[in-house]
Structure formats: C-alpha cells, structure tokens
Amino acid sequence: MITLENIDKHFNDLHVLKGTSLAVKEGGVTALIGPSGSGKSTLLRCVNLLEVPQSGRVRIDDAVIAFTPAGKVDRNAVLALRRKTGMVFQNFQLFPHLTAIENVMESLVTVLRRSREEARQRAMDLLEKVGMVEKAEAWPASLSGGQQQRVAIARALAPSPKVLLCDEPTSALDPELATEVVEVLAQLAREGTTMLMATHDLRLAATIASEVVFLDAGEIVEAGSASKVFRTPERNRTKQFISTLT
C-alpha cells in the first residue's frame, strides 16, 4: 500500500536516512520508534514529500515517484502523492485565525473545491468522530492541547487520505490529554485507517500499532509485528531502546 524503497536523505553533510526501506500495510498501523535524531520525522516527511529524498522510491497506492540525485522532481507528481496523505504534527499546527470547523473544511474548499455546504457537512461528521462537535465554532487558542490535536486529526482526515501520518501526536500533551488522543487514534485504527506514526509513547504504540519499526541513526535495526518487537526483540539495541520508553 505504502512503500519506501532505499530512501537516501542528506541535509548537506548529514546523512539522515541511509537507504531506508519500509512498507505499511493497508489498514495497518505502523509505529516508527527510535531515539531523538534518528530520522523519524524526516522519514515521515519523505512520505508526503515535505522533504524530497536524494534517491529512492516512494509509492502510495497507485502513485509512485522515483528520485535520483540529478533528476528533476515533477511538481504535479509530488502534489498528487501528497494528496494521498494526511499529516498530524506534534504541535497541532491548527490555523489560528480559523475556527475548529473552518480548519477541517479548509482543504475541502480550497484544494478540492467542494461547496462550503458540503465541506461543512463532512467537517461536522469528522468532528463528531473525534468528539469535538460541541467545539465546532471554537477558536484553536481556546481549546486544550488534546482538543486541538483531535481537531488536527479531523483536519488531516478531511480529504480522505490513503494514509494518516502522525509525528509524535501525543508528545506535547499531559498524560490525561494524551489519553483522549490515544482513544481517537485507537478508534480510527479499529476502523481500518492506515497509519504511520512516529512516537515515543509506549502506550500509544502498544495500544494501536500492528507493526513496529525501530530506526536508529537512519537505519532500520528491527521491524516486525508489534507483539514480536515489543515482547521478544531480536536485537540488543532494540531491547535497550524499548526499555527506555514509558
């Protein structure tokens, strides 16, 4: 469904992703774990091409782009691929000048050219799904972090992406507020939403991930089913890292 093949990403002299390959199954949830600086955010950003890799292939569904150091990147292909993704950030990043429902409607109206009426209906359905209907007309600044993140999840889902990319979706939240976000993501997972998420939150990963990938210094050290990687990791490095998660 989603595959990354041999992705290389350099920032000048810094070689962040070193021929990284990864597959996410349709309807599955893959948790990307690894120390700070290991390249998790960069990897997620290479899926939606917020970062453009120097080499490798990115495939989502029927859209594929191959990158080569000398090759020119086809902007339309990048946009087509990006539209198959929805992204949830650590710090929510809601548009501050738009209400909760307007945040969710935004891409539907401006990118997908839906009527405001139709967009509003879809946004209401999504706010319902994340338990935020009562706050539809609220401004982001008046919402708790957990509420903002739930609106951000609804916004990411609005254009019906093939994959929901989440970058540390609970790390900016107190445990109590993280719980409401974990519950929303768990519900989406049960409904078969395909997700790839970077997280340090063991509870989040253990609750919803079907697959776990352990990334260290831009290389995949271990990957497999969540129960296998969490309970009986093969590599010492994985074992050691998992023991640091809380």
Residues that bind ligand ADP (CB under 6 A): 11, 14, 16, 34, 36-42, 198
Where does this chain bind Mg ion (CB under 5 A)? 40-41
Strands (E), 48-102: 55-60, 63-67, 85-88
Find the helix packing angle between 145-157 and 175-190, rounded to 10°. Answer: 20
Task: Give whichever of 44 and 208 is closer to Mg ion, judged by the CB atom.
Answer: 44
Which tokens belong to 141?
Answer: 């600044």
Residue 231: strand, helix, or coil: helix
Q: How far is the CB of 156 from ligand ADP (least distance, A)?
A: 18
Q: Dihedral angle at the C-alpha atoms of 15, 16, 19, 24, nearest 10 degrees?
A: -170
Task: Give whichever of 38 and 147 is closer to ligand ADP, judged by the CB atom.
Answer: 38
**Cβ atoms within 10 Å, residue 120:** 18
Residue 71 interacts, among Mg ion, ligand ADP, none and using kind-specific CB cut-offs from 5 to 8 Å, with: none
Residue 39 interacts, among ligand ADP, Mg ion, none and using kind-specific CB cut-offs from 5 to 8 Å, with: ligand ADP
Residue 30 interacts, among ligand ADP, Mg ion, none and using kind-specific CB cut-offs from 5 to 8 Å, with: none
Q: How far is the CB of 118 from Mg ion (least distance, A)?
A: 35
Which tokens belong to 28?
Answer: 């599955």
Q: How far is the CB of 49 from ligand ADP (least distance, A)?
A: 14
Residue 34 interacts, among Mg ion, ligand ADP, none and using kind-specific CB cut-offs from 5 to 8 Å, with: ligand ADP
Q: What is the rounded CA–CA span in Å between residue 30 and residue 225? A: 9
Residue 123: strand, helix, or coil: helix
Q: How far is the CB of 23 from ligand ADP (least distance, A)?
A: 19
The maximal CA–CA distance of the chain, rounded, in angstroms, is 55
Phi-psi region of 161 (alpha: psi -120 to 50; beta: other; left: phi over 0): beta
Q: Which residue type occupies 155?
A: R
Task: Give whichever of 34 and 140 is closer to ligand ADP, judged by the CB atom.
Answer: 34
Task: Give whichever of 40 and 150 is closer to ligand ADP, judged by the CB atom.
Answer: 40
Q: How far is the CB of 199 from ligand ADP (least distance, A)?
A: 10
Residue 56 interacts, among ligand ADP, Mg ion, none and using kind-specific CB cut-offs from 5 to 8 Å, with: none
